[in-house]
Structure 1
Amino acid sequence: MVSILGACSKNETSKNDTNASKSEENKDNKSKDTTTSKKEKFKIVMVAKHEGIPWFDDMRLGVNDFGEKYADLVEAKQIAPEGGDPAKQVQMVEDLIAQGVDAIIVVPNDPQSMKPVLQKAKDKGIITISHEATNLTDVVDYDIEAFKNEDFGRLMFENLATAMEGKGKFVAMVGGLTMQTHMEWYNAGMEYLAENYPEMEAVSDQPYEDKNDDTIARDKALEILKAYPDIKGFVGTSVSSGSNFAAVLKEKNRKDVAVVSLGIPSVSSAYINEGYMNHAQCWRPADVGYASCAAALKILQGDTIDNDTNLEAPGYENIVIDEEKKIIYGDAPMILKEGQYEDGNYPF
């Protein structure tokens, strides 16, 4: 009996030891699986121009939507510098390189200052995508645009000419002289006016800048109207420029200056409806934020991106690629019209 009990005890101990060993092994495996799972998620980060302004708040929605849809595959987020500081933006990219993220998408304040750090990211094997920076294609995998910038600029200045009846003095303002897209719109528009409307005259050789800042834009608007009381038109390539110029005209009860600008529905619609802004155009930031992340994921997964690839956002379902320049074009311009959002239900 003692022998039998001893054997049973021995067997039970052995069984318990085996179960405990298996339990520890399962725990270790589970821990390893969890760690592996976390490592397998691609980290995609959008580095936008400016923190805390409606345009890039909307872009964050698209990035977050993408992250939620593909939560099993990616961790996607957006960051941006306060005040749109180019140096801070470069440092953010440096930090992401140090963190070893898988893809960096950037909307640069100053493409030239961003170039060396994006080359560094590319050398580290990080996927790099730009937006509003077609001159960065030698250091990124792709630049993605909502449309061809020349077409967008001509459309803006064509509407200015129509509102001014093709003659008179006007003022132009950009977010910054280093902002490539703003300058491409401005240069294409000025070229269009020179070819088609010789009686229209810009009051300065280069545009004013507002740094995408409402306070600066308002101060510039007051300065311009004081210096050039006889101007007939104003064109702005930033949301701040057009909305603040329209706001100052409203305060002065002036509807004799045609205002054409980049705009967003929640800011520009009221001025359009009240007659202080003649035309506003844009594209949906959330959509390009989503499409940029979709392009990054495809590259990370080894998929081919070519003409007609669907990046799953409105206007980017059938993209067109300039393979030589490595630019992805969507077809996503958005024109804001009078009475379009009378219910106040703005998309952004």
Structure 2
Amino acid sequence: MKQRPFARLRAPRSLAAMATAGVMALALTACGGTTKDSASNSGSGDAGSGASASANPNAPIKEGLKIAFLPKQINNPYSTIVDKSGIDAAKEYKGEAKEVGPSDASASSQVSYINTLIQQRQDAILVAANDPNAVCGPLKQARSRGIKVIAYDSDTNPDCRDIFINQASSEEVGRSQVKLLSELMDGKGEFAVLSATANATNQNTWIKFMQEELKKPEYSGMKLVKIAYGDDDDQKSFQQTQGLLQAYPNLKGIIAPTTVGIAAAARYISGSKYKGKVVVTGLGTPNQMRQFIKDGTVTKFQLWNPKDLGYLSSYAAAALASGQITGAQGETLKAGRLGERTIGANGEIVLGPPFTFEKSNIDEFDF
């Protein structure tokens, strides 16, 4: 059955603004050792400032809020779109937002940036975690100083943040990837997963649900032979694709649930003897995948609207920092043009279901 786009995913003429492909990373500047004043810390210890506070849904968003986006790595096209949208959203509520981050996606690469953001006395830190535990120590320090912590795209350990903005239900993403690949492979053959980093929370959660889905009898003709890691690096992902095809001569498909990985895999396949023989699918953006859809390398892939992910994350940060929400299940916030959103279990807000892009609809989107 053909999926229908969810309401927020519109054609470019109806989007308020287009994401640019330019580098949005700001230079990380050195700071003194000042931290949030103790008077501003309404919580206690590592539990975070929201733990003992009560929500006031009618409180206005404070003007001049300072928030910072810390992606897995800067210069990643997907992260640039997400973070720029969040930065633009901050202008709507008269806040000051920026993007900082490492150029590599290693487990500990984000730690020094969190420490600096604490010194800069940010009101909220939004982090897409490379590793769920490596960032916990400094994030707990941030929360103990009254700084709100929002995980987006890739979660931290739940004890280390106030809320998590999930781009889609993790289970739905993982299972839908297997369903799509099965459709494209006619339910038969060997396939591999080309992931980002080995410690990426979102990647590992999706892969777990892929493996659960594969246990169903309708997938008995499919076999997952390898989970490879391209570390969200274009060249390494390209080389991993080449290595998979050499190691597994009967490979019929690749799932790359990472925008860097799917583009690199498609680029390799498009110029090789495997074009038309090996299925490539996963999670990508329309603009990076358009050429591969049109030249027949890729038939279908999925994603959500990354602009909406950044936008919702920004408004959630503002709501937290303004006392409208604390992160408790059942609380609601008004997220600008996205409307009202409710916090679910474990402090999670889900953006929406994944959407399938293909030749018939890809030119309707520009991001």
Q: Please report the TM-score for the alignment, with normalisation by the length of structure 2.
A: 0.77
Q: Cα distance 1:166–1:341, how it changes in 2: closer, same or farther (>3 A)?
A: closer
Once the two structures are TM-superposed, the CA of residue 129 in structure 1 deviates from its matched residue by 0.7
SS of match in other structure, 1:46: strand
2:129–2:155: 8 Å Cα contact kept in structure 1?
A: no
What does residue 119 of structure 1 align with?
A: 140
- Which has the bigger relative contact order, CA under 8 A and spacing at least 6? 2
- Which whole-Å CA distance do the structure 2 matches of 1:341 and 1:167 have between them? 27
5 Å-filtered alignment, 1:134-153, equals: 134-153=155-174
- How far does residue 318 in structure 1 lie from its aligned partner after superposition? 4.0
Larger radius of gyration, structure 1 or 2?
Answer: 1
**Cα distance between partner residues in 2 of 1:124 and 1:300:** 12
Once the two structures are aligned, what percentage of the paired residues are identical?
26
CA distance in 2, matches of 1:209, 1:247: 17
For residues 168-190 of structure 1, the C-alpha deviation after alignment (integer angstroms, 9 at most, x for no partner) is 11111110110011111111012
Residue among 48, 60, 65 paired with 2:83? 60
Give SS of 1:169's match.
strand
The answer (yes or no) to whether the contact 1:45–1:79 under 8 Å persists in 2 is: yes
Aligned partners of 1:334, 1:176: CA distance in 2, in Å? Answer: 24
Contact (CA 8 Å) 1:307, 1:318: kept in 2 or not?
no
2:17 corresponding residue in structure 1 = none
1:300: how far off? 1.8
| Distance of 1:346 and 1:53 partners within structure 2 | 19
CA deviations 1:80-109 (Å, max 9, x no partner) are 211223323111001011111111110011
Partners of 1:339 and 1:220 lie apart in 2 by: 30
Q: Distance in 2 between matches of 1:169 and 1:116?
A: 41
Work out whether 1:279 is the aligned partner of 2:316: no
Query: Alpha carbon RMSD of aligned pairs, Å?
Result: 2.0
With the length of structure 1 as denominator, give the TM-score of the two structures: 0.81
1:59 aligned counterpart, secondary structure: helix
2:199 maps to 1:199:
no
1:157 to 178, 186, 202: 178
Structure 2 CA distance for partners of 1:150 and 1:100, relative to 1, 3 Å: same
- The Cα offsets for residues 190-241 of structure 1, whole Å up to 9 and x where unpaired, read as 210121312211123xx10001111001111111112212211111111222
Q: CA deviation at 1:121?
A: 0.7
Consecutive unaligned residues in structure 2, runs of 5 or more: 1-61
Cα-to-partner distance string for 1:301-346 (whole Å, 9 max, x where unaligned)? 22137465331254xx3434224x111122253321214244xx75
How far apart, CA to CA, are the structure 1 residues paired with 2:337 and 2:258? 23
- The 8 Å contact of residues 134 and 327 in structure 1, kept in 2 or not, is answered as no
Residue 341 of structure 2 aligns with which residue? 319
**Paired residue secondary structure (2:193):** strand
Give the unaligned 5+ runs of structure 1.
Answer: 1-38
Find the aligned partners of 2:88 and 2:174 in 1 and give their Cα distance.
Answer: 30
1:70 corresponding residue in structure 2: 93
